[in-house]
A and B are shown apart, each in its own frame.
Chain A
Amino acid sequence: MTDESADGNPSQERGEQARYDQARYVDDGQYEPLLAEKDRTEVEIDADDSPLPDDLTRDAIELPELSEPELARHYTRLSQMIYGIDSGPYPLGSCTMKYNPKFTEDVAALPDAAVHPDRSEGSIQGTLELMYRLQDYLARIGGMDAVTLQPPAGAAGEFVGIRVAAAYHEHNGEDHRDEVIIPESAHGTNFATAALGGYEVVSLPSDDEGRVDLEALEAALSENTAALMLTNPNTLGLFERDITEIAEMVHDVGGLLYYDGANLNALLGRARPGDMGFDVMHYNVHKTFATPHGGGGPGAGPVGVVDDLAPFLPAPRVRADGSSGSEQTYELFDPEHTIGQVHGYQGNWLVLVKTFAYIARLGDEGLTDASAKAVLNANYLASQIDYDVPYEPFHHEFVASAGEQDAADVAKRMLDYGVHPPTTKWPEIVPEALMTEPTEVESKATLDRLAAAFDAVAEEDDETLAAAPDRTTARRIDQTSAARNPRLSWQALADDE
């Protein structure tokens, strides 16, 4: 296909990402050279002008050496070769890619937000108060009794949940419990986390309607059950209507019910994990509360628990010290049977500041409205596309099937229409899955544009799909050769050439 955009007049139907080979042609077969290929310098560590003797130092170091303007252009060009939520819709199922309000960056950049973690408690009352208030917000939203902010990501929150469950069972003399039950459609992190915690994973099939199969659950539960990990709505967007019964069944055998917070955006102000019988949950604050994902992180994964589990939470936590007077003061404390730390300090603090600001901005009214519109958007979008959506009624996300088409190819082709595709090929319960979550931040007009992209691709033949994308910065990338011949640094590239 020829380059239709050379005249600078992008197609009406299809989107096009900025391409830097147009503005600045590179003739060495690259879209943008590496810094080290532009200019690098070797600096020798010379004993004569080093404050340390030779045997304590390295001999030399070789790194890129460029001016500030050159760096500014390099990173600006790199940024223009990235699709973010500010570039367009990003309906990645289960990832909850929301718009990120800009003011939260400013509050996280306040000088008072940047303090050393070893400061005395008396000198960082602001930091401790904000942590305390965020713990309280999250406890209310999740219907939980106590919250730790320490886990630096959702999977780290899962790990805390599993470690807390293990410590609880051990405390009760029940350390024979060595199994964690996980639905087959669950997030991969659930399985990896349970394994990291030393548990056997018992996989739970879904029933014909896409929910937990109660008979299979009954069969899986035993005196060896430490916990059942579940998200609700599940990864098909379906609410586990039998949740009260599920909770009773798990509790009856002495197990704990763990809530994966990845889908909490669907429930804000409508239902709370604590009220459903969950004992422990993590919050993906970078999903539910719209703090930026930063190209893969940092996020934060605070964990909420019921009273019985609070003594096992990571140390330290924050509490109000109960002093009277005009200003409440706050202090750190170690829970009685704490599992210790899961991060060197207190987790991803700047993300927590953004989370606090987001929740404080929206409040009850905004949070409840967000879940309503997230569910409205998912249902509207699903009604507008030509692909089959086998499971319903769904909430904030739905899983369409690409049918005879290859879902991964569909995704590549959607890029040519200027939109980010859904999550593909997962959960496996739906063939050629297109797991779609528009979130509340898309307008009807944007959803219509998204649906048009879905439908245009649905009409196209396999050959066209296999050749996609052709309007993105890079064309289809050879994944096989990347894995077969791993080149993971400029040094490896240089060795290769």
Chain B
Amino acid sequence: MVDLIMKDILGTPAILVGLFALLGLVAQRKNIADTISGTLKTVMGFVILGAGANVLVQSLGKFSDMFDKAFSVDGVIPNNEAIVALAQDSFGTETAMIMLFGMVANIVIARFTPFKYIFLTGHHAMFMACLIAVILTTGGLTGAPMVIIGSIILGSIMVLFPALLQPYTRKITGSDDFAVGHFGTAGYLVSAFIGGKVGKNSRSTEEINVPKSLGFLRDTSVSVSLTMVILFFIVAGFAGPTFVEENLSGGQNFLVFAFMQGLTFAAGVYIILSGVRMLLAEIVPAFKGIADKIVPNAKPALDCPSVFPFAGNAVIIGFLSSFIAGLLSMFLLPIFGLKVIVPGLVPHFFTGAAAGVFGNATGGRKGAIFGSMANGVMISFLPALLLPVLGSLGFEGTTFGDADFGVVGVILGNLVSLFESSVVFILITLAVLAVAFLVGWKVQGKDEEESEAA
């Protein structure tokens, strides 16, 4: 009986996440129909996520084979959805547990400290939970201690990162209504910092007329399809028709094969996204509902597109600058002995655009351009630096895309391997977090005095 509950029920990530949704729906006193459909959809979302991973892996494997043949180095495509879906086989339960208790930790920290942020970008919370689960497990932590420290880490960064960005976010939105809760924070901070340094007297991006024709790239499925088809074409071309047709496509023309494989990859991402959407649709509103009841004056920390409307041109300029920096970084990475990170349109679009908005806020056009370029370099180098700490998951040909996953992963991964004993590691981690909170406190205090004085 115990075995059935612990291993078969709670050990099945899909059911575990379904139970969270059920709890949330019951806590909100939803009617029976909503509760049943919400719970079932959450579980189904998890199943869909796994199915998407299977579709995507096939084409990712083909890509790696061709890339290897073409350039004799490993090329890695950073894609959060892909790596998280792949990780669910071995780390599903840990991811779900850390995600749930990380949300609880977020609410507790927001309740008892001056950082009143509630992190509502559910998919990023899930990706970060997965990253933490992978790194702690690879580092030798297991069971309850792993889940507890993992949740504390997740809950802390869900509050700290929006808090760090808030002075700049306020500058962009002109209010304190919401914060940015998106794990590209490190890139945005650097962008805003560089903007402040280079952008003396630079005029705002919003005084330029930029064609709106790049708007179609905001549709994720279009931009993933387009990038992947182009990438597959280039790589197939370099690998040569003979290699592709003899070893991979079973005689099918190499360009037709490349086209179909690129779209297969995109279809995989699309399927995974629909799964993620289904499974978050119940959990995030429940989280928000509970947080609103417990934390007075809670500020929502929202996904990065929430700042896009404040600087439409900076979005396009930021994306282009970031992507160009990503292309240049592709050639620099091998010089440093790192794996080649193929720039993805999606991470560069969303984080490059947001970095553009932050850079523009502090340093106008120059800030938007140079700030986003720095972001582009960061999301090329950080995913490469992250690969070694992911253990066996680092060999799947994909990795986490956004800056903070790299920052948190590299720091945690190195801490875990530094200290043999997990007790010491846990104490050190808690100390690091405590220092971070103290610094944040000071900054926030200063910040509030300034804004009150202004």
**Do A and B share a complex?**
no
> Interface residues, chain B, CB within 8 Å of chain A?
none
